[in-house]
Amino acid sequence: MTHRKKIVVLTGAGVSVESGLSTFRGQGGLWEGHDPQEVASIEGWRRNRALVLQFYNERRAQLEHARPNAAHLAIAALEDRYDVTVVTQNVDNLHERAGSTRVLHLHGELTKVRPEDGIYDRTFSEEEVIDVGFGAVEPGDLAPNGSQLRPHIVFFGEAVPKIERAIDCVQAADLMLIVGTSLAVYPAAGLYRYARAGVPVYLIDPEEVALYDKRIVQIRDVATRGMARFTDMLREKGF
Ligand code: OAD
């Protein structure tokens, strides 16, 4: 088998905009009408579990009716020619539904829940994670260990357990592509710094994103058109 070049694709909320899902920092800093600190932080969870559960129940119901767009499909199609890992900050499952086979969810997954308290001092094992699909979870719904079920989402104030694996993928990559993220939330925002010297880094976003690294080349466009341009460019360059 011939050696396939490795591409790592880092995605954010912008890749799912054309599927009808909103970004986080789009409308005056509100996420679907809520302050992210209220519905996506560990303090917010402790303050009002019912509100947080309801918020993610709504997001799950919305996701059921969303479809992958041409950008998700184009990212999946890169697997025809390259060895691709998608590292996504998104909690939706549109990359998987588009056909991407290797997807690392840095910030968790909307369709999954887990016990509020892991067995070992608030950590959790993958076996404790429960797939609820697009279904609702209510206060009083308990895990087998007797504790309240919570969204399998990395809240502000919590560690990002998969960051080490993401760093490994970026370090191994021959090309990095970033799509639809404001690069405002760490540690995800710093991942591109692990790309090896000489590895090209492209960014698709319609807005000007604050870039601290001169080697990042921006394709200033929405994700669907940007992906078409990116794919053409790879072909032209013979990458
Ligand atoms: P943001 O809302 O911060 O940024 C979304 C980016 O998408 C912006 O740069 C927009 O310009 C861009 N965008 C908008 N429409 C687009 C389109 N049609 N095509 C391509 N790009 C478009 O979202 P993220 O960077 O993903 O964490 O936010 C990172 C994290 O912050 C999220 O994962 C979330 C939040 O707190 C958690 O929930 C843990």
> 107 an active-site residue?
yes
How far is it, in rounded angstroms, from Cα 135 to Cα 137?
A: 7
Ranges of CATH 3.40.50.1220 domains, the chain:
1-21+68-107+160-239
Per-residue model confidence as pLDDT tens digits over 63-85: 999 999 999 999 999 999 999 99
How far is it, in rounded angstroms, from Cα 199 to Cα 195?
A: 6
Pocket flag, ligand 1, residue 219 (CB < 6 Å): no
Strand intervals (E) in 97-194? 103-105, 108-115, 130-131, 149-153, 175-179
Pocket flag, ligand 1, residue 68 (CB < 6 Å): no
The CATH number of 1-21+68-107+160-239 is 3.40.50.1220
Measured from the CA of 222, which atom of ligand 1 is nearest?
Answer: 19
CB distance 116 to 149 below 8 Å: yes
What is the pTM assigned to this prediction? Answer: 0.95
Strand order in the sheet with 175-179: 103-105, 83-88, 6-11, 175-179, 201-204, 216-219
Residues of the chain above pLDDT 90, percent:
80
Ranges of CATH 3.30.1600.10 domains, the chain:
23-65+111-153
CB distance 31 to 184 below 8 Å: no
Per-residue model confidence as pLDDT tens digits over 140-149: 999 998 999 9
| 23-65+111-153: CATH topology | SIR2/SIRT2 'Small Domain' (3.30.1600)
Per-residue model confidence as pLDDT tens digits over 110-120: 999 999 985 44
